[in-house]
Amino acid sequence: QVQLQESGPGLVKPSQTLSLTCTVSGGSISSGDYYWSWIRQPPGKGLEWIGYIYYSGSTYYNPSLKSRVTISVDTSKNQFSLKLSSVTAADTAVYYCAREYTNDYGDSEFDYWGQGTLVTVSS
Partner 1 sequence: DIQMTQSPSSLSASVGDRVTITCRASQSISSYLNWYQQKPGKAPKLLIYAASSLQSGVPSRFSGSGSGTDFTLTISSLQPEDFATYYCQQSYSTLSITFGQGTRLEIK
- The footprint of partner 1 (CB under 8 A) covers 46-49, 60, 62-63, 96, 98, 105-111, 113-116
Buried b (16+ CB within 10 A) or exposed e, 45-58: eeeebbbbbbbeee
18/51 with CB nearer partner 1:
51
**Cβ of residue 106: shortest distance to partner 1, in angstroms?**
7
Q: How far is Cα of residue 37 from the mean position of the Cα atoms in its chain?
A: 5
User: Judged by CB, which is closer to partner 1: 4, or 73?
Assistant: 4
Strands of 8-78 (E only): list them: 11-12, 18-25, 34-41, 48-53, 59-61, 69-74
Q: How far is the CB of 43 from partner 1 (least distance, A)?
A: 11
Q: In the complex with partner 1, which residue's Cβ is closer, 16 or 49?
A: 49
